[in-house]
């Protein structure tokens, strides 16, 4: 499944992978032909050496057999190493693609679990390719050849071996049927368990402070028990069938020996045929037994391949659009309808407005009115369901996301940092030639330069897990510096003063003024009066619709008049509660 998707996206790379697989198939053919060495050796020993009592013949046959065994072992080792490297090769081909899809998924749809299942699926696929499962798959086509060889020894020996092979095939099919549902349940339970583990890890402070860590642990244990139960069921089925197949194969081998002895007594076959038939039948049935033993891993790899194929089809690679010149003039939002990823309803309804270079927009309204949904859509983080958003005439999908991101600064409500230094986080993990100067420029624009210098290692201070070594206000100001890095044209700040003190709010106002003076556009979601002091336009959103938009003083006067009227205006009530009017 995953190889089919890979061949559609990267045909040239898939062609090279196909050459590797053909090479392994060729090696498998030679290995399986050499697998007849033991049978021919025993035939010659019993039918020639023992009758002729020729020691030189025995020595020559032994040397030849030893050489063939060494050659077979060398090819088998080479085949297993090639399979390991194919797993690594597929990982190299897909790792970046799959990780990019992981980053896109929460922006496109509702994600179950912790969202990292595609990465685990890729790891499952690579691990399976490095195991014994693919070896059995390459050996299975040679089973009929071995059975034909047994038939050449005697018809009834061949029939017995075929009957044994059919029984093992039935056991393999039974393993598939009995373990399929349990395997799917185990995967689902594992996703829930991982998601709950991550939630507990990230909210350890809340669990400890408010004393419900034990109750969270009980819920996790219940999910983990379901996961363990499903895994146990899969293991019981796979292990049980593997034991049955091993026992049956041992019985079958003894039955072939007994049948061969009877046929020898009758004079239908030679003594060498007894041992040769036993060896070849065991070699023929071994791939089926290995397949049964590795069936659980095969099921896991197959489900992983299916999910990865669906992911690649749902998020296809798009050709890089033509690189556009840096934006300099305007942002036009026309009839925008938007909502959370995966939602069928609209949170924002038919919003239209236009901003030009040097303007600052304050976006106000009550909680839950759609402000954050609107700004997330403007920066391209959430899907645009209807309407258009244009920067200098080009819609967002006409820009390469990496290119557009350099012209957008975004400070979300929930601030996340990445493992690394303060400088790396401000620079958005950039390593260009002018990073140092741009980092300091952004830090000074956000008025955090002096604060950073007073940290133990300055800009080289390791920020820690999600910035845990910093206060909420420091994290917010560093996030502002990251938004200002590289002097982007459009700056979107979602409640940027929620954790700031008076000094931080003053720095925020100066930063907004600086963006406007250099010809940028600023959109600020505000709940405090001080946040909108540096903007010249004001928009009011209530119930997902644009209730007012225009010069700040005009909108404020309009809202004051509306608040004096008998009707209640939601946005006015919110502004009044926050002290903005």
What does the pLDDT look like over 471-519, one tens digit per residue?
788 888 888 999 999 899 999 998 888 777 777 788 888 889 989 999 9
Give yes or no for a contact between 293 and 356, defined as CB atoms under 8 angstroms apart.
no
Handedness of CA 321, 322, 324, 330 (dihedral sign): negative
Residue 249 — very low, low, confident or very high, per pLDDT cuts 50/70/90? confident
Residue 254 — very low, low, confident or very high, per pLDDT cuts 50/70/90? confident
Mean pLDDT along residues 411-425: 85
* The predicted structure's pLDDT at residue 579: 46
What does the pLDDT look like over 25-51, one tens digit per residue?
888 889 888 888 888 888 888 878 888
- In angstroms, the CA 567 to CA 475 distance is 41
Q: How many CA atoms lie within 13 A of 135 on its CB side?
A: 21
pLDDT at 565 over 60: no
pLDDT at 570 over 70: no
Residue 15 — very low, low, confident or very high, per pLDDT cuts 50/70/90? low
Q: Which two tokens stand for residue 365?
A: 């309204």
Q: How many CA atoms lie within 13 A of 513 on its CB side?
A: 9
Please report the DSSP string for 429-450 in residue order.
Answer: T---TTHHHHHHHHHHHTT-HH
* The predicted structure's pLDDT at residue 469: 67
Q: How far is CA 162 from the centre of its chain?
A: 44
What does the pLDDT look like over 325-366, one tens digit per residue?
889 999 999 999 998 887 778 889 999 999 999 999 999 888
pLDDT at 573 over 50: no
- Mean predicted lDDT score pLDDT of the chain: 82
Question: Picking from 70-74, 113-117, 543-547, which range would have the lowest pLDDT averaged per residue?
Answer: 113-117
Mean pLDDT along residues 75-83: 87
Q: How many CA atoms lie within 13 A of 563 on its CB side?
A: 16
In 109-142, alpha helices (H) = 117-129, 133-139
* The predicted structure's pLDDT at residue 566: 41
Q: Over 16-43, what HEC string results?
A: HHHHHHHHHHHHHHHHHHHCCHHHHHHH
Q: Would you give the DSSP letter of residue 48? A: I
What does the pLDDT look like over 374-410, one tens digit per residue?
999 998 888 888 899 999 989 888 888 888 888 999 9
- In angstroms, the CA 442 to CA 449 distance is 9
Residue matched to tokens 């624009």: 445
Q: Give the β-pairing of 537-542 and 545-551.
A: antiparallel
The answer regarding whether domain 1-314 maps to CATH 3.40.1280.10 reads no
Residue matched to tokens 């929620």: 498
Give yes or no for a contact between 385 and 335, defined as CB atoms under 8 angstroms apart.
no
Residue 115 — very low, low, confident or very high, per pLDDT cuts 50/70/90? confident
pLDDT at 273 over 70: yes
pLDDT at 460 over 70: yes
In 203-270, alpha helices (H) = 204-209, 213-266
Give yes or no for a contact between 223 and 185, defined as CB atoms under 8 angstroms apart.
no
Q: Kindly report the pTM of this predicted structure.
A: 0.70
Q: Where are the domains of the chain?
A: 1-314, 330-564
What does the pLDDT look like over 203-227, one tens digit per residue?
776 777 777 878 888 888 888 888 8
Burial (Cβ within 10 Å: 0-12, 13-18, ≥19) of residue 295: buried
Residue 9 — very low, low, confident or very high, per pLDDT cuts 50/70/90? low
* The predicted structure's pLDDT at residue 465: 61
- In angstroms, the CA 153 to CA 252 distance is 17
Give yes or no for a contact between 250 and 257, defined as CB atoms under 8 angstroms apart.
no
CB proximity list for 19: less than 8 A, separation 6 or greater: none
pLDDT at 72 over 80: yes
Mean pLDDT along residues 117-139: 83
CB proximity list for 348: less than 8 A, separation 6 or greater: 336, 337, 338, 339, 370, 373, 374, 377, 541, 544, 545
Percentage of the chain modeled with pLDDT above 70: 90
* The predicted structure's pLDDT at residue 182: 77
Residue 14 — very low, low, confident or very high, per pLDDT cuts 50/70/90? low
pLDDT at 311 over 80: yes
The answer regarding whether domain 330-564 maps to CATH 3.60.20.10 reads no
Mean pLDDT along residues 550-564: 79
Burial (Cβ within 10 Å: 0-12, 13-18, ≥19) of residue 270: middle
- In angstroms, the CA 25 to CA 139 distance is 9
What does the pLDDT look like over 184-193, one tens digit per residue?
778 778 877 8
pLDDT at 543 over 90: no
For residue 140, what are the CA distances in angstroms to 240, 293, 416? Answer: 21, 14, 51
* The predicted structure's pLDDT at residue 354: 92
Q: How many CA atoms lie within 13 A of 78 on its CB side?
A: 16
pLDDT at 569 over 80: no
* Residue, of 547 and 214, whose pLDDT is higher: 547
């Amino acid at each position: 499944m995953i190889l089919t998707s890979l061949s559609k996206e990267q045909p040239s790379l898939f062609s090279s992978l196909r050459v590797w697989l053909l090479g392994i198939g060729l090696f498998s053919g030679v290995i399986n032909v050499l697998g007849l060495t033991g049978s021919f050796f025993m035939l010659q020993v019993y039918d020639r050496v023992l009758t002729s009592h020729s020691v030189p013949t025995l020595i020559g046959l032994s040397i030849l057999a030893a050489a063939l065994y060494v050659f077979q072992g060398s090819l088998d080792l080479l085949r297993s190493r090639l399979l390991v490297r194919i797993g690594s090769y597929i990982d190299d081909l897909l790792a970046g693609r799959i990780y990019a899809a992981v980053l896109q998924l929460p922006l496109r749809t509702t994600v179950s679990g912790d969202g990292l299942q595609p990465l685990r699926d890729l790891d499952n696929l690579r691990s399976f390719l490095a195991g014994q499962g693919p070896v059995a798959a390459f050996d299975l086509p040679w089973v009929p050849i071995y059975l034909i060889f047994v038939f050449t020894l005697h018809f009834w020996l061949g029939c017995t071996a075929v009957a044994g092979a059919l029984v093992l095939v039935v056991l393999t099919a039974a393993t598939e049927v009995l373990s399929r549902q349990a395997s799917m349940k185990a995967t689902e339970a594992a996703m829930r368990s991982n998601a709950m583990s991550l939630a507990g890890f990230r909210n350890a402070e809340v669990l400890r402070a408010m004393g419900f860590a034990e109750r969270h642990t009980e819920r996790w244990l219940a999910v983990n028990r379901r996961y363990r139960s499903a895994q146990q069921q899969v293991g019981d089925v796979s292990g049980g069938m593997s034991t049955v197949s091993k026992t049956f194969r041992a019985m079958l081998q003894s039955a072939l020996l007994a049948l061969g002895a009877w046929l020898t007594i009758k004079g239908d076959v030679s003594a060498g045929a007894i041992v040769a038939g036993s060896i070849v039948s065991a070699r023929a049935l071994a791939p089926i037994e290995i397949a049964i033993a590795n069936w659980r891993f095969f099921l896991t790899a197959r489900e992983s391949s299916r999910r990865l194929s669906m992911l690649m089809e749902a998020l296809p690679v798009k050709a890089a659009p033509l690189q556009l010149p840096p934006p300099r003039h305007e942002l036009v939002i026309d009839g925008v309808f938007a909502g959370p990823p995966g939602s069928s309803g609209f949170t924002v309804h038919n919003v239209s407005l236009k901003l030009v270079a040097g303007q600052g927009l304050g976006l106000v309204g009550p909680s839950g009115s759609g402000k954050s949904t609107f700004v997330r859509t403007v920066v391209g983080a959430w899907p645009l369901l209807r309407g258009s958003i244009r920067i200098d005439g080009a819609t967002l999908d006409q820009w390469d996301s990496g290119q557009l991101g350099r012209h957008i600064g975004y400070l979300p409500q929930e601030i996340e940092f990445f493992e690394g230094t303060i400088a790396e986080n401000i620079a958005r993990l950039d390593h260009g030639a002018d990073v140092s100067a741009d980092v300091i420029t952004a830090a000074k624009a956000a008025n955090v330069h002096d604060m950073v210098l007073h940290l133990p290692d300055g800009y080289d201070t390791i920020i820690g897990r999600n910035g845990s070594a910093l206060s909420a206000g420091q994290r917010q100001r560093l996030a502002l510096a990251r938004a200002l890095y590289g002097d982007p044209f459009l700056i979107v700040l979602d409640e940027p003063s929620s954790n700031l003190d008076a000094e931080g709010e003053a720095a925020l106002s100066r930063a907004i003024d600086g963006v406007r003076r250099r010809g940028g556009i600023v959109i600020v979601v505000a709940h405090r009066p001080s946040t909108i002091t540096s903007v010249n336009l004001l928009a009011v959103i209530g119930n997902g619709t644009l209730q007012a938009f225009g010069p700040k003083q005009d909108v404020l006067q309009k809202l004051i008049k509306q608040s004096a009227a008998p009707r209640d205006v939601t946005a006015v009530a919110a502004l009044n509660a926050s002290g903005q009017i």
